[in-house]
Structure 1
Amino acid sequence: MTAILPGQEVPTRTAQKLRQVHTITDRFGMLNTYLIDDGSLVVVDPRSSLNGRLILHYVERFLKRSPSDIDLIVLTSQETNQSGGIETLRSYCTAPVAALARTRGRTSSTNDRRPAGNGDGGTLPIPLAFRAGELFSLDALLTFTNPHLRQVSIWLHDVGGLPRHEDWRVIATGGAARGHFCLYNPFSWELIGGAAMSTTEGGMPILHASGDPRGQQETLRVLRDLQIYYLYPGQGKPLLAHNAAAQIRLDW
């Protein structure tokens, strides 16, 4: 512990923000869609037309907001066809769709890995372990056969922030070849696990296996180094715990 001498300025801590994530589920398969409210609205994994309608109803009925306040749609997986949810939402808003860039940015210069959008995300204090995501091996074998991928206009990079929502940072997982990533907010201590993560009936969060075991081990190490109080899986019930990251397990 570092002592503070008389008259020395006490270092300020990062102020915690209120929780920003709302959960919308289809109530059948427990496939979750998330709505981030940090002033504007971000939809994470719109999934089906049903989920899209539930989001619109939630925005208008419970948040008392307009669907036009949705300024970004984020896909944490490039495997699952989410065209239905995207089309439902975009009939009420003009939000662009964002997905993980994968190898698009790996052959570019370091400057090309900056966060998409107009904001400068480099000023956000991110732990060293969090920046270790740059070591992940990404695969370019995924073909653009799913129609929802043709609607993607923003390509996100590992460690970069969401455009216009720079507090939310991308963590590419060991399944990044399939476009899997998590979103982490170090100010509200929230992690959206997306398609890479689910919870069991007992509430244990599971990080799903991928074709890159070494990368998935690295993902687990990175996640466990983060301060997470609220963990939101792609499937299953959210976990609220003082140290939710310590409960994450690998599923082989």
Structure 2
Amino acid sequence: MNPILQAQSNHKSIRQYTDKTIDESLIKQLIQSAQGAASSSFIQAYSLVQVSNPENRQKIATLAGGQKWVESAAEFFVICADLTRVEYCSLKQGLGALEGNTEHFIAATTDATFFAQNLMLGAESVGLGAVFIGGIRNDPEQVAELLNLPNQVYPIFGLCLGYPDAQPDLKPRLPVDVILHKDSYDSHRCADDVNAYDAQMQAYYQSRGDNQKNSNWSEQTAAAVQRKKREHMLDFLQARGFLKR
């Protein structure tokens, strides 16, 4: 494999960090490189907030469900979908304000996500570890208030960055043949695919060096989606100017 493919294949979520700081010049370089990500119609509808205030970090860690690595990481960012500049462009050109179209929400969210994945991959390429923090959506209103986020901006997830102090085992991903469909989607194979992967993941969970458990992929996945519905998100997003039509 070339270095990029190797880095993509070797991603691990890192939650334990050393006390080593990250040079500000490296942070800016990583952000600039991450901006090379694809963008819908080149609207670049994202921003990130570098959270350095220890009190705010502690509050966000608590809001995210007690994720202490938000506090202990060398750097913590909040990745935001941001349509403020896009709306200004529309007003400047005499085309009116944005109207909360679902398409614009999707474009901004995907733009921000492409950028964030690039940022994580770049960070890992220089020896940093990282983990995304979806738990900030437990209470996005408080997070938005802490960070002074205006309307047309919403926090999608956080990102911890730091030098790793531990290396967890690499989780086996779904086999390529499970996620790859040719010409048309084959829904008949779902049960067999999931059951086979459950067996693989159960063996992984029972054999890894740390945090062994008797579980499988479907058990973990069902718990993740059914216990984290965050039904407040629609009202929150609509109040910020998203998903109105």
Under a length normalisation based on structure 1, what TM-score does the superposition of the two structures give?
0.24
**Higher-strand-fraction structure:** 1
Larger radius of gyration: 2
Bigger relative contact order (CA 8 A; separation at least 6) = 2
**Higher-helix-fraction structure:** 2
Under a length normalisation based on structure 2, what TM-score does the superposition of the two structures give?
0.24
